Structure formats: structure tokens, C-alpha cells
Chain A
């Protein structure tokens, strides 16, 4: 029985990793909304996707992914609370997260 749980976990991790391109595309779509002037919608989507990645990554063993996603979530929240301009760190954290997803 222990083996079958291990198998299930390995399969699940494989499936999780296979969704990285989709997750990356979702982040890019959110960023595109920002680029097209939908500030509120873009930030909310970025925060949402980052939140999900932060919550799941480390549980699957991707600690760096969770940590980076959390930084982006934080930066999105900070930008949502600032009406004037987008927080500069938002783009840094966004790019860093994309980089991590690309190399996984």
C-alpha cells in the first residue's frame, strides 16, 4: 500500500510540473491586461495566480517557487493599494517567477 501512495504522489508531482506552461501563460495573460491598461483586473489576476502558486509549490517540494510567488503576491497587493503607479518591484518579482517556471 505504501508503494501505491508513493506512486500516486510521484504521478501527482509529475502532473503538477506539467501544468507549469499553463501557469506561466496565465501569468503572462494577467501581465498583458496590465500592459493594456486594465490595472485593477491585471493586478487581481496576478495576485490570484501568484497566491495559488505560493500555496501549492512548496507542498510539492518547490520551495523556491512558493517563495518567489509569495513575493509577487505581496508586490501585487502593494500595487493594488497604491493608486499612482505600479510598484516597481512588481515587474522584478514577475520576471523572477517566470524565470523559475521556465527552468523547472
Chain B
């Protein structure tokens, strides 16, 4: 059943078999979709040109333009439009090939009503499985999961900028993935086989940051028992990523400027300049214009660093990517725990889509993990997302709420561990069976559900 929107989505069904077309049409109408029908590829393309279709379901084997040819045409004309492919078992290999050509999913004939409903729902939520067109990009770029046009443009920019030598400044909110983008930039550059080193300028006190960046000679300061080459030299030939550069103290900003101007680094306590060849990429979540006006950031350094600005959008500006990321996080969690991959109920997914995500991708990952860990069923209900978002906003729970939540989480983990065996669980919890059953009732947990997870 539909869940994302109250507005009826439009489904275009394409099959040369009228019997299939009519039956699937009724099933989809019963699910609340507006259904258009076409008996061949040409009719389908004509229909697409006049109506705002949300998803296409097409048969694979059709006379004239077959399903794969239609898929190719649709992918070219409407790259964001999800296409579900239906195939007979005899064409299963062709159908599998279609998954590499951008098909959202495929169904095998004879189609089951529930499978059809689920596929359409998923296609509308998750959209097109993008064909991998970033084969020449590095692992970091591939790890930046996206289907939004804003991220696609950004990665194209990264690809272009990567080839050059200019310094790059990445602007983006906390948790939006600035380091990953910097790494993608490094991997897209001719320096990709050289080191990529990242350092957070806000995480270290001034003296330590100075020594970390520029290195020091033995005895340069108390405790400098040995010499250190520093991160600039360690990154020689490669890329140094200075995160939160807006937090760098003014004294170090002067030294950084000199490194950029003269391509030499002078370790603390040394009088010798050492030539280096490092591409510097920086990032900040701070308003540098304001800092310039206040004199807290050097203007000459700012212009040196900000030769090419890259703006990483906040998650709320790329909502199309949310469910793709959610799927990825759930998959990772399932792999880590060895448990069945969980999924969000339609209402829960809707809430994930609508939230503002001030903590961006990092916050989304946290919320997904909290929900997956605490949920005792495979389908995560909307109330768990509500609670996780509440927790993540830092809203204080009452002591009673916190205790109840801890207790429930403990029970769920315990039941999973003992696979629903109440006797074992009660023993480990240090309770008798009656007490333990009372606890199960209090938290509305059913031990049997944990027996086959």
C-alpha cells in the first residue's frame, strides 16, 4: 500500500498481453494508483510525453520495441523515472542484465499481487538503481551514495577539479561528509597513488597542531625527545585535508600561508626550509566572511585557500538520497550483526524523508542504527523513529522514560542473544521466569519472535 504521499501516483503499465495489462491495472488501482496502459513501446513513449508518470512497469518480451529497448529510451529521456521490468522465467538472464541498465526492480511472471504492490511502492520510495557511471572515480566518490542531481553535479565538479592543482575549500554543515568529499577529490587527482592525510584543526591545541602539521626537530620543546617530520611532509606528493580550518589559531594561519606561498615547510625548532609538494584541501562549517570581518581569519590566507569553493549540500537539500542512504545503513548493520536486514514501515520511512536532519548524514546514520538495534521486529515502526529523533535532538527524557528505554533495549538485546529462550534470558538477567514474563509484558515483547531471527 502507498505511504509516501497523499496524492495518487501515476503508473504506466506496458504489456502486449491485454489479459495481463487489465489484471495488473486493477490490482494497482485497488492500491490507489492512477493507471495508464500501453500495449507496446511506442504507445508507452507517447503516453510518457503527455502525462507525469511516476513509475513504469513494462514487460520484457514484446514484439517490436522490447522491454530493454524501451528501458534504454526511458533512461535517456527521463533518467529519474523508475522502471520495473516483468519477465518470464525463460528471459531471466535478460532481466538480470536489465538490473545493470538502471531498472528499479524486476518481477517474474506470473506476477503476484503482493510482489507487484511491493515493487511499485519501493520504486516510488527508492527510485532508480543508478547504473554505475562513476567507474573512473575512486572508492570515496563511490561511497558518496546519491541519486540527487545536486550531488551528481557536485561529483562532476569534483572530477573536473580533481585533475588540477588548485587549493579547494569545502563548505558544508557538520556531518555532511566533507572529509569523504575531500578524499574523493584526492582520488580523482593525479596524486591518487600518493598519501591522503586528514587532520581536524579544531581537535588539537595550538602547540600540538603546529608540531603535527609542520613537524619538529629533536629538543624543539619540552618532551620533543625525537624529531617528527609533520603531516605536510608525510603528505608530500599527495593531499593534506585540513578540516575545520576556521578554528586554526591566527599564529598558525601565518605559517600555513607561508607554506602555501613558498611550497616549503620549516619544522618547529629548525632553521631549514624543506620543499614540499602538497595539495591543500580545507573545509569549514564556520562563516568565514564573518570571521574575516572580525579579523579572526586572515584575508590573504582565505583567498589562498578558497581558490575553488565546493558547497556540500545539507541532507535536507538532497532528500532524494535519504532512503538510498537508509537502505545502505540497514544493509551494513545487517552484515555487521549477522541478523536479517530490517526495514522501515511506510510511515516510518515517511518520517525519515520529512525530517530536517540538522546533523546531516551522520545523524541519519545514528538514527537508523538506534532504530535497528532497538527494534524487536523486522519492520521498524514510526514510533521508534520519533523516539530516535527526539533523542538525537538532545531533548531530555524523563528519568522514567530513560529507564524504560534502557530496560527495553536490554531485553531486546538479551532475547536476541539467547534466541528467545526465556529460561536462559531470565537466568542471565538475574530474574525468575515469572518476573521475566512480567517484564516482557510490560514492554510488549514476544519471546517467540526472537526464535527465528
Contacts and interface: CB of A to CB of B under 8 A. Distances in A.
Interface string B63-102: 0000000000000000000000010111000000000000
Contacts of B335: none
Contacts of A73: 88, 90
Contacts, number: 54
B110 A5 contact: no
Interface stretch (B19-27, B209-217, B282-290, B413-421): B19-27
Interface in A48-73: 51-52, 54-60, 66, 70, 73
Contacts of A51: 61, 88, 90
Chain A interface size, under 10 / 10 to 19 / 20 to 34 / 35 or more: 20 to 34
Given A54-B109, A59-B110, A16 B19 contact: yes
Given A5-B26, A5-B29, A12-B26, A55 B20 contact: yes
Contact of B109 (A9, A19, A55): A55
A5 to B, nearest CB: 5
B307 interface: no
Contacts of A5: 26, 29-30
B88 A54 contact: yes
A39 interface: no
B111 interface: yes
A97 to B, nearest CB: 15
Contacts of A58: 110
Interface string A63-104: 000100010011001000000000000000000000000000
Interface residues of B, number: 19
Nearest to B22: A12
Contacts of B112: 59
Given A56-B17, A59-B111, A60-B19, A9 B26 contact: yes
A55 B24 CA distance: 12
Nearest to A5: B30
Contacts of B22: 12, 15
A70 B89 CA distance: 9
Interface in B100-126: 109-112
Contacts of A56: 17, 19-20, 23, 109-110
Contacts of A55: 17, 20, 59, 86, 88, 109-110
B33 to A, nearest CB: 13
A55 to B, nearest CB: 4
A59 B18 CA distance: 13
Contacts of B17: 52, 55-56
Interface in A3-48: 5, 8-9, 12, 15-16, 19
Nearest to A23: B19
Contact of A59 (B23, B61, B88, B90): B23
Contacts of A70: 88-90
A19 B26 CA distance: 19
Nearest to B111: A59
A11 to B, nearest CB: 9
B20 A59 contact: yes
A8 B29 CA distance: 11
A57 B26 contact: no
Residue of B23, B89, B110 with most partner-chain A CB within 10 A: B110
Nearest to A63: B110
Interface string B27-64: 00110000000000000000000000000000101000
Contacts of B61: 51
Contact of A60 (B23, B30, B88): B23
A57 to B, nearest CB: 7
A58 B88 CA distance: 12
Contact of A19 (B19, B20, B24, B86): B19
Given A52-B20, A58-B110, 6 more contacts: A12-B22, A55-B110, A56-B23, A59-B111, A60-B23, A73-B88
24 contacts: A5-B26, A5-B29, A8-B26, A12-B22, A12-B23, A16-B19, A19-B19, A51-B88, A52-B17, A55-B17, A55-B59, A55-B86, A55-B110, A56-B19, A56-B23, A58-B110, A59-B20, A59-B23, A59-B109, A59-B110, A59-B111, A59-B112, A73-B90, A74-B90
Interface of A: 5, 8-9, 12, 15-16, 19, 51-52, 54-60, 66, 70, 73-74, 77
